[in-house]
Amino acid sequence: MRPNRTKGLLAAGLVTVLGGIPTAATTASAATTGSADDAPGVLRVDAWDPACSDSGTGTAAKPFCSVNAAAAAALPGQTVEVARGTFGSGTAVTKSGEPGRPITIRGAAGGTAVGGDVRLSGVHDVVVESMHAREVLVTGSSRVTVVRTEASGIKAVDSPGTTLTNNTVADGCTAGIELAGDSSGSNLFNNVVRNHFSPSAPYSCPNPEGAEIVVSAASAKDTRAGSNTVAPYWTNSGNGTPYVWAGTRHQTPESLAAATDGRAGKHDYVVPRWQSGSALNSEVVDSADETAPGFVPAAHPADDPSRPNLGTGLGYHDRGATERQEPITSAQLTADQQRAPYGTEITLTATTGPEKAHWPTSVMTYRYDFGDGTPAVTSNSPVVKHTYTKPGTFSANVTVDTGGGQPFTGGYGVQVQVTTPGPLTAGATVQQVVPDRFDTADAPPLGVRVDPSGTSSPWQVSKVVVDYGDGTPAVTRNTLDAVVHGYASPGDYTVTVTVTDTAGRTSTAAYPFRAAYAPTGFLRTEAYRLVDTRQDPNLDLRGGAEVPFTVPTGSAPGANGVPGNVTTVVLNVTVTDATEDTHLTVWPTGQARPITSNVNVAAGRTSSNLVTVPIGDAKRISTLLNSGRAEVIVDVVGFYRPNGGDLFTPLAPSRLVDTRESSKLGSGETRAVKVAGVGGVPADATSVVLNLTSTDTATDTHLKVYAGGGTKPVSSNLNPEPGKDKANQVIVPVGPDGTVNVYNHNGSTHVILDVFGYYSPNGKATYTPTVPVRLTDTRTGPFAKPGPDSTTVVGGIPAGARAAVLNVTSTNTTEDSYLTVHAHGAPRPGTSNLNLLAGQTVPNHVTTPVGADGKVDIYNHVGSTDIIADLFGYFTDAWPQS
């Protein structure tokens, strides 16, 4: 075997051959390459050249448009060279050459598709080479050669001395190669003839007995044939007939050779139809007879190391019109520096693949074009160094010569950005992550986006380290892409960006960032259960132990999940089966546990409260029972999300219903309460904030409040007890008819509903959550314990707040009483928020308007009690409407 040549510009390609014999890259004859633009004796045809003319000179400057015109103008010894891709209705050759000086019709490399048939009639000394036609028909002619041509059939009638060598024929139901009439003294060598129909094909042969090579009795005289590969029509009972010679059918090459005294059939292969299409296993590769009449070497013969050299001569030429090529499928060029200042030596590396496909005989040669106008460099090394001398962006490419056969092109180069020398300077933008109202992605509630693309360096940046300043591990990247981080707690942080470039230089920049919750809108939902420790033996709520609960985000409201980009969740939290008097604290996971509380419960009793809490680390909220053991039930009743949802409008508290003025709510009874159009609630309100109070209760029961016309939820809002007035704030959707329903489970009880505000698309305020913070605790001062008919003024609510979300708790109560919470400076309404019981601790979630000075008033009716007020968030003017 000898080294062979295959070139590729950044990738190898496989050119499929008509009929798939073989499936590989192809080459044309050596005679199609290397001619000068106006070589003597060459007439050019190029139908795609705007300057072409059938009355032209046939030069490169003015080629013919059609093959017919050029053939008609050709003289003995001249070649008609047809440009690749010239199409036409067919070609008719009517002029002859002379012995030793034929007229040659030659296609471009790979075969030229001329369309229709190539017909030669009444001519002599003509060569058809490297064409691609439907059929080649030779009639009444002599000494015609067809070589390295692809067709669906080649037929010679009364044309003695016809030579058919290295052709690929994929026929239908007729003979692939036929010598008819008297075409004696002909030669058939190195051809591949394949019938491409089968019984399962859409069009099967009506005459499956037809042969692939047919030679008439008169034509058989002095005709020789050999080194042909024949794949006859396949039938369910076996192969069809490969040969009909002088009227006799022959199923094997051995039979044909015996009948012709060895003049035909020697070195032939008769193979199954499918095998002839296999480039790796076919007896087509490296088995041609180079001494055959009319043989033209391929431009780039390839020696396949997986096949033995079974041909004559050098032994590595393939049969048929094409050559099997080294199966390289890709190649690319990479640079060790894709960005560097001019004067830097850049190392470029060429790779081809897949690596296992390389033939052992490959001798790799690389031609590098650096794209900057400097001379190309040819080398046997896949690595080359180059120094760019001016700034700019340059596309470097490589032509790979694998030593395996035909050139191939296509693939990937590399762009090198050449810069002006200068320093490395870290630069970044640090911004709060706030999704727009249409964004449903799952963004962190306290998110920051760090974009280091403002970094400047003449070199490629190889490393970027972002430290968020909160003790979490720094993030390391090798690009200048932006990164997003979620802080566990609001606060002031320092974000540090450190960049390193490929020159080994480092630069650092620090940026202050305040992590704060963004204003949000309310997303209503019908209540659904999130957690019930009574149903989960793995959840053990005991004193002093933090128990986090995951809030599933990214799903649809009401589907046991929370929409993406939610920062705050509104819960109804119920504590029951407490082993002792205790309280429960709820806060965002990952933040320090606050001193605040949310639900207070007596031993053996059940207590509920509304809780508005931001979602914490890993989409979780944490709970902690102060002492003892208890069960907890958590129901989702709404969410808050930045730049989306309904807005809140606070109202001066007013009473919607008081059943003491009519009749109690009986066992299993549901009563509709009109809210739209009452107490300042408009018709477009989507949800309302109510304070639900029970009194004069006959037996232990529970109350549920839900949208009019809606489905009664599993969750309850209040657990009334005999002899106690109990209250809980609720946020409930408004039904289509403008009502809400109140359901009593057992016994009878009076119900009082007071309204404190509503949500609507055109509301006035957005909600901003806070870390739970204690505003006042009269047990520790500075205020004295409130006495009867006294008001405690509570400040500390952020400036500009229209309303606040508080948890108000009474304790050390001397006698039954109630508390009313309202905006400081506003008239005290005739409503209540908490109903106090002597000797007991009572909490309630309170959404209340705020005075212009950021204060609220808490009024105590009788007796004395300590008051604790905790802030969980506040409402401010809405974002601009779009």
Q: What is the DSSP letter of 658?
A: E
CATH code, domain with 339: 2.60.40
Averaged pLDDT, 555-559? 49
* Contact criterion met (CB below 8 Å) for 589 and 486: no
**Residue 134 confidence (pLDDT) above 70:** yes
Burial class (CB in 10 A: 0-12, 13-18, 19+), 879: middle
What is the Cα–Cα distance from 577 to 564, expressed in whole angstroms? 34
- Could you report the per-residue pLDDT of 80-96, keeping only the tens digit for each? 999 876 666 788 999 99
- Please check whether residues 845 and 858 belong to one and the same domain: yes
Indicate yes or no: pTM above 0.75. no
Domain termination residue (choose one: 642, 673, 700): 642
Q: How far is CA 525 from CA 429, 608, 646, 858, 863, in A?
A: 37, 19, 12, 31, 40
Given pLDDT bands bounded at 50, 70 and 90, which one contains residue 114? low
Q: How far is CA 122 from CA 75, 96, 138, 163, 740, in A?
A: 16, 8, 8, 16, 102
How wide is the angle at C-alpha 461 spanned by C-alphas 460 and 464, nearest 5°?
A: 170
Model pLDDT, residue 268: 94
- Please check whether residues 831 and 803 belong to one and the same domain: yes
- Please check whether residues 778 and 869 belong to one and the same domain: yes
- Could you report the per-residue pLDDT of 406-416, keeping only the tens digit for each? 545 445 689 99
Model pLDDT, residue 33: 34
- Please check whether residues 405 and 436 belong to one and the same domain: no
- Please check whether residues 489 and 531 belong to one and the same domain: no
- Could you report the per-residue pLDDT of 290-343, keeping only the tens digit for each? 999 999 998 777 788 778 889 888 888 999 998 877 666 677 899 999 999 999
- Please check whether residues 533 and 511 belong to one and the same domain: no
- Please check whether residues 880 and 840 belong to one and the same domain: yes
Q: How far apart are the first and last CA of the chain?
A: 77
Residue 207 within any structural domain of the chain: no
Model pLDDT, residue 366: 85
Residue found by looking up tokens 């009795």 in the block: 217
Model pLDDT, residue 675: 97
Strands 142-147 and 163-165, by their bridges, are parallel
Residue 309 within any structural domain of the chain: no
Model pLDDT, residue 438: 61
Residue 849 within any structural domain of the chain: yes
* Contact criterion met (CB below 8 Å) for 27 and 109: yes
For residue 794, give the nearest of 808, 814, 779 by alpha carbon. 808
Averaged pLDDT, 152-166? 97
**Residue 8 confidence (pLDDT) above 50:** no
Residue 348 within any structural domain of the chain: yes
- Please check whether residues 535 and 511 belong to one and the same domain: no
CATH code, domain with 631: 2.60.120
Q: How far is CA 790 from CA 599, 814, 818, 833, in A?
A: 25, 14, 11, 15
Residue 26 within any structural domain of the chain: no
**Least confident residue range of 112-116, 152-156, 389-393, 822-826:** 112-116
Cα atoms in the 13 Å half-sphere on the side-chain side of 369: 11
- Please check whether residues 405 and 366 belong to one and the same domain: yes
Q: What are phi and psi of 253, to 5 degrees?
A: -60, -35
CATH code, domain with 869: 2.60.120.260
- Please check whether residues 355 and 444 belong to one and the same domain: no
CATH code, domain with 446: 2.60.40.10
- Could you report the per-residue pLDDT of 609-665, keeping only the tens digit for each? 999 999 998 889 999 999 999 999 999 999 999 988 999 999 999 999 999 999 999
**Residue 3 confidence (pLDDT) above 90:** no
- Please check whether residues 542 and 632 belong to one and the same domain: yes
What is the Cα–Cα distance from 650 to 821, expressed in whole angstroms? 13
Burial class (CB in 10 A: 0-12, 13-18, 19+), 464: buried
- Could you report the per-residue pLDDT of 735-783, keeping only the tens digit for each? 999 999 999 999 999 999 999 999 999 999 999 999 889 999 999 977 7
Domain termination residue (choose one: 642, 671, 699): 642
What is the Cα–Cα distance from 175 to 193, expressed in whole angstroms? 9
Cα atoms in the 13 Å half-sphere on the side-chain side of 543: 10
Write b or e for each residue in 400-420: b if 16 or more Cβ atoms lie within 10 A of its Cβ, otherwise e: bbbbbbbbbeebebbebbbbe
- Please check whether residues 579 and 616 belong to one and the same domain: yes
Model pLDDT, residue 85: 67
Structural domain count of the chain: 4
What is the Cα–Cα distance from 647 to 763, expressed in whole angstroms? 4
In three-state form (DSSP H/G/I as H, E/B as E, the rest C), the secondary structure along 534-599 is HHCCCCCCEECCEEEEECCECCCCCCCCECCCCCEEEEEEEEECCCCCEEEEEEECCCCCCCCCCE
- Could you report the per-residue pLDDT of 589-614, keeping only the tens digit for each? 999 999 999 999 999 999 999 999 99
Burial class (CB in 10 A: 0-12, 13-18, 19+), 74: buried
Residues ≥6 apart with Cβ < 8 Å to 628? 542, 543, 578, 579, 580, 581, 582, 603
Q: What is the DSSP letter of 659?
A: G
Q: What is the DSSP letter of 629?
A: B
Domain with 361, as residue range(s), is 1-17+330-371+383-417
Domain termination residue (choose one: 485, 515, 545): 515
**Residue 678 confidence (pLDDT) above 70:** yes
Residue 557 within any structural domain of the chain: yes
Averaged pLDDT, 520-541? 89
What is the Cα–Cα distance from 203 to 198, expressed in whole angstroms? 8
- Could you report the per-residue pLDDT of 337-362, keeping only the tens digit for each? 999 999 999 999 988 776 555 566 56
Residue 297 within any structural domain of the chain: no
Model pLDDT, residue 14: 23
Residue 11 within any structural domain of the chain: yes
* Contact criterion met (CB below 8 Å) for 384 and 377: yes
